[in-house]
Amino acid sequence: MPNTATPGAKTIPVHRIEVGMKPDLPDPTGSGARARIAEDLGVHVNDVRVIDVYTIHADLSREELDLVRRELFTDPIIQNSALDTMLASDFDFAVEVGFRPGVTDNIGKSSAEGIADTIGRSLTEDEAVYKSTLYAIRGGVSADTCEHIARDLLANGLIQRWVVKSAAELKSVDGYGLLGLPLVTDRSSAEVRTINLNISDDALMTISRDGMLALDFGEMKAIQAHYRDASIAQWRKQAGLPAQPNDIELEILAQTWSEHCKHKIFNAVIEYTDETGKTRTIDSLFKTYVKATTDEVGKRVDWLVSVFHDNAGIIKFDENWNFALKAETHNSPSALDPYGGAITGIVGVNRDVLGAGLGCRCIFNTDVFCFATPFFDGDIPARLMHPRRVLRGVHQGVKDGGNQSGIPDLNGAIVFHDRFLGKPLVFCGTGGLIPATINGKPSHEKCAKPGDLIVMCGGRIGKDGIHGATFSSEELHEGSPATAVQIGDAITQKKMADFLLEARDLGLFSNITDNGAGGLSSSIGEMAKGSGGAVVHLDRAPLKYPGLAPWEIFLSEAQERMTLGVPPAKKEAFLDLARRREVEATVLGEFTNSGRLECFYEDKLIGALDMHFLHDGVPKMHLQAKWTPPTPKSEITIQTSDLMGDLKAVLGSLNVCSKEPFVRMYDHEVLAQSVLKQFQGVNHDGPGDAGVIRPVPGSKRGIAVACGITPKYSDLDAYWMMASSVDEAVRNLVAVGARISTIAGLDNFCWPDPVKSDKTPDGDYKLAQLVRCCEALYDFCTAYDIPLISGKDSMKNDYKIGDTKISIPPTVLFTAAAIIDDVTKVVSMDVKRAGDAVYVIGETHNEMGGSEYLALRGELGANVPKVDAKKARALYEKLSAAIASGLVASCHDCSDGGLGVALAESAFSGGFGMEIELHGVGVENDVVALFSESQSRFVVTVAADNTDAFEAAMSGAAFARLGTTTQSDLFKVHGGDGKWHEARLGELKAAWQRTLSL
């Protein structure tokens, strides 16, 4: 019914504009949906046509509506449209999918702006446009099947609603109001509750649990004790606050003290018992291993600028520029809503870099995902999604977030392991560039002074993401909140980022940080450390819709917001520029030196927390760790007569195969700085090792970025897992020509819960794994002179519902970046010509444990690859010197799949054959020679004229000449069995490309 008010919508009329492709033209979106319905659900329908639906909840005249239908919503060349009538014809069922109330609707928002331009007036606060999508399905379906298609493919019930109607039913409603307006009607009271903590211990824990506070018993007791403190009580009385905490105070403490924000496990006192029964005490893994690494290496490198205390680590790029780097995880939200969780992850880490120093410009993204196999065919546990759906959604989210922000994707990986079914891991990283000095001052120094105004800018606040910080500090369980999910809006953030860089150069603010986990409570709480306090007026914050309690305003994790400290003298200029750039900016209060974080609502003090208690009051955790090495097994010995068949199988395994279809969808060249892309070789489809960019036009100086991630070794020994991750990242950099002592690292830990409890009886073992992992991090980073400039940990990556518990394998993403003096000297991984010598660099051992080869046979094996840091470092220094001297034609890292994979990839990427003598590798067994995953190795090709010089340059390091590149299209291996094994390049490449083809 057009022009009829919906309950709760006052008297603003509702209209519906439908837009679809002209019937005689193909509909790629519809065909895509049809293909996915077949592929994912095994349901075959004849046809799907997609109709975009814009529900206009605004007081527009008939003429205006028709104008926007024609001029804004319809492409006259290819589309038809209808106003307040139905467009679809010739279908059996219609499924319409739209957002739930309060969920970010980016298209709806942009449409409102488009309408304003077209009709010459802005929509009012109460008017809005809502986007939904109608899928008109023909053939082969029932209403129930459509319900299944909607629920399990087209929509995510957490954030979306849908309705299924048959063609006949749809006629009877004439196409209107299928979903109803997504208005937020659920309003919290602005009332502030006081919570009495003078109660029994059991009742204290009930408050923590029921309130989703994730505070443990010791923490609840510390808070209880704080409010019993006589001086606190007296101050509160004078200030007019109740003796017991108000809800907002408890909420602030819970989020500030959350594992997510305080890294309590990394700062705990750990009693570690090794396999001999010897016990020692580690007072903070962070200080003992992570910070100690940087402190030690910092004495040997001179390019650290700002480490650990800002949103991202900052190092020197050249005389004029500094370089910032950060990686984050967004696992729990991505488990619930893969698309929203992932896009929020990528635009969130962009904000970390935008908020580093006085604000860096983002120049690249990295993305690493961990999933269970997309071919999983078992039962999916409650509340989890099929890994294929998670993979698609996460990829789509990162793609949209990065592409729309104009930040190129530079490097990444997709890793598969069965236990990521319980929780997918989504790592997003960002690099940024900032002038070393801005307006004559070092750009990495920032501090809000007392009196500086607190200004929030960017998006508005809604109920999105409330309790995100505490939620991610727990395992995924039945009651995991829907509000923990947010959907990022890259364009709102892009507008804000453009504006802030302009404001930065004009010197309009003194401090900046992003709003991530914990929202304003976290950003203001952190910034207030500098000045020594803050006063915040929560009723002044702009809201997406009314009805948020004050504490919700303070804790909301609504996206695309930064908090700034603005000197009063700059206020007008700052706000004026914001207006001209159409970025919302609001003064919320000011920084003080009162020693307290004070929150007001409608001029009434509703909460005050002592800064010292807020930041340092959390009790240290005391934890037990006990290391029991896995029962030693002898390595499995496999003989094969079909080396090439096995090689093809390994090339096609999930962890080795080409990820090109996914990576192609990322813009990896925006900003025009690309030097080595993800895809290399004669047909631009060979797998590059490290991404290289030259970010400053006119300069040959560059940045190489790579990652290492090897969770497959964790079940054997987390120490060697960490060693391999560091080594993998480093050798990816060395493979393109980067030098040791120019490399900076980031450590991102993702662990299953390592705290022993009823639900985690093996917590002491998992914590011992963590200790050993940190030891390796220190051992190898100090050996390679890699300072850790930033990092993060995510410690509760478990799934538990009913009797089903899935814990991820302990995982560390090691991201490494190196400064390259001259990018014109880097090498790619593809073979360049026939007649070049082929070398393996580094030693090969029988280290089949965790290998892809054994994994294909369902075995883990025993011998985990080990790293000899001293030898490896010497080898890396020689190899990068040889590359810098121009002696190397191609260089490729040996990692997942082993030497066979690296040789084959080098050959087919370059389009040249190879003849390889396997005995040169120096091991007895051909399977070991080709498929062992020993670390610190490369495949290198060298022009015939350069072999002597190359061998001289490498002397003292382990290397062996294995053969020659050839003009033919055959990849030939002469095995220890005396036989030649061969395969065509095309077959090998097809095996590598087929697995994840879309």
Residues in contact with another protein by the rule CB under 8 A: 26, 28-29, 31-32, 52, 71-73, 75-78, 106-107, 109-111, 113-114, 117-118, 120, 399, 403-406, 489-491, 494-495, 498, 580-582, 664-677, 679-682, 684, 694, 697, 823-824, 826-828, 830, 832, 910, 998
Residue number with CB closer to another protein (183 or 491)? 491
The alpha-carbon radius of gyration of the chain (Å, integer) is 29
Among 879, 961, 953, residue whose Cα is nearest residue 917: 961
| Minimum CB distance to another protein, residue 590 (Å) | 29
The identity of residue 495, as a single letter, is K
| Minimum CB distance to another protein, residue 1 (Å) | 25
Residue number with CB closer to another protein (580 or 612)? 580
Q: Hey, how many other C-beta atoms are within 10 angstroms of the C-beta on 372?
A: 26
DSSP string covering 446-461, please?
Answer: --PPTTPEEEEEES-B
Residue number with CB closer to another protein (406 or 542)? 406
Q: How many residues does the chain have?
A: 998
Residue number with CB closer to another protein (413 or 768)? 413
Please tell me whether residue 159 adopts helix, strand or coil conformation: coil
| Minimum CB distance to another protein, residue 582 (Å) | 7
Task: Find the helix or strand (DSSP H, E) in which 783 lies.
Answer: helix 763-784
DSSP string covering 830-849, please?
Answer: S--STT-EEEEES---S--T
Task: Tell how far CA 930 is from the center of its chain.
Answer: 33
Alpha-carbon distance 559 to 556, whole Å? 9
| Minimum CB distance to another protein, residue 886 (Å) | 12
DSSP string covering 202-229, please?
Answer: HHHHHHHHHTT----HHHHHHHHHHHH-
| Minimum CB distance to another protein, residue 706 (Å) | 17
| Minimum CB distance to another protein, residue 449 (Å) | 30
Alpha-carbon distance 689 to 678, whole Å? 8
Alpha-carbon distance 701 to 358, whole Å? 23
| Minimum CB distance to another protein, residue 79 (Å) | 8
> Under a CB-based contact definition with an 8 Å cutoff, are residues 687 and 678 in contact?
yes
> Under a CB-based contact definition with an 8 Å cutoff, are residues 293 and 301 in contact?
no
| Minimum CB distance to another protein, residue 509 (Å) | 19
Structure tokens at 883: 């590359």
Residue number with CB closer to another protein (757 or 824)? 824
Q: Hey, how many other C-beta atoms are within 10 angstroms of the C-beta on 237?
A: 11
Alpha-carbon distance 8 to 28, whole Å? 38
Residue number with CB closer to another protein (679 or 931)? 679
The identity of residue 589, as a single letter, is G
* Sign of the CA dihedral with 499 first, then 503, 504, and 509 last: negative
Alpha-carbon distance 745 to 776, whole Å? 14
Among 27, 66, 67, 70, residue whose Cα is nearest residue 48: 27
Alpha-carbon distance 846 to 857, whole Å? 17
Please tell me whether residue 704 adopts helix, strand or coil conformation: strand
Q: Which residues contact 469 (CB under 8 A, 6 or more apart)?
A: 255, 258, 260, 261, 517, 518, 522, 557
Residue number with CB closer to another protein (500 or 721)? 500
Q: Where are the strands (E) in 355-503, listed by range?
A: 361-371, 409-416, 425-435, 437-438, 441-442, 453-458
Residue number with CB closer to another protein (495 or 615)? 495
Q: Which residues contact 716 (CB under 8 A, 6 or more apart)?
A: 630, 849, 850, 860, 861, 862, 864
| Minimum CB distance to another protein, residue 362 (Å) | 11
DSSP string covering 588-642, please?
Answer: EEEE-SSSEEEEEETTEEEEEEEHHHHHH-SPPPEEEEE--PPPP-PPP----S-
| Minimum CB distance to another protein, residue 115 (Å) | 9
Residue number with CB closer to another protein (494 or 792)? 494
Residue number with CB closer to another protein (264 or 677)? 677
> Under a CB-based contact definition with an 8 Å cutoff, are residues 115 and 186 in contact?
no
| Minimum CB distance to another protein, residue 888 (Å) | 11
Residue number with CB closer to another protein (205 or 670)? 670
Residue number with CB closer to another protein (495 or 659)? 495
Among 486, 488, 501, 612, residue whose Cα is nearest residue 564: 501
Among 639, 18, 662, residue whose Cα is nearest residue 403: 662
| Minimum CB distance to another protein, residue 701 (Å) | 12
Residue number with CB closer to another protein (363 or 768)? 363
Residue number with CB closer to another protein (491 or 881)? 491
Residue number with CB closer to another protein (106 or 653)? 106
| Minimum CB distance to another protein, residue 811 (Å) | 28
Q: How far is CA 890 from CA 316, 933, 942, 993, in A?
A: 29, 20, 7, 21
Instruction: Give all strands of the β-sheet with 702-708 in edge-to-edge order.
Output: 674-676, 691-693, 702-708, 811-820, 743-750, 788-794
| Minimum CB distance to another protein, residue 823 (Å) | 6
Alpha-carbon distance 921 to 925, whole Å? 10
| Minimum CB distance to another protein, residue 993 (Å) | 14
Q: How far is CA 713 from CA 572, 859, 862, 967, in A?
A: 57, 12, 10, 38
| Minimum CB distance to another protein, residue 572 (Å) | 18
| Minimum CB distance to another protein, residue 938 (Å) | 16
| Minimum CB distance to another protein, residue 943 (Å) | 12
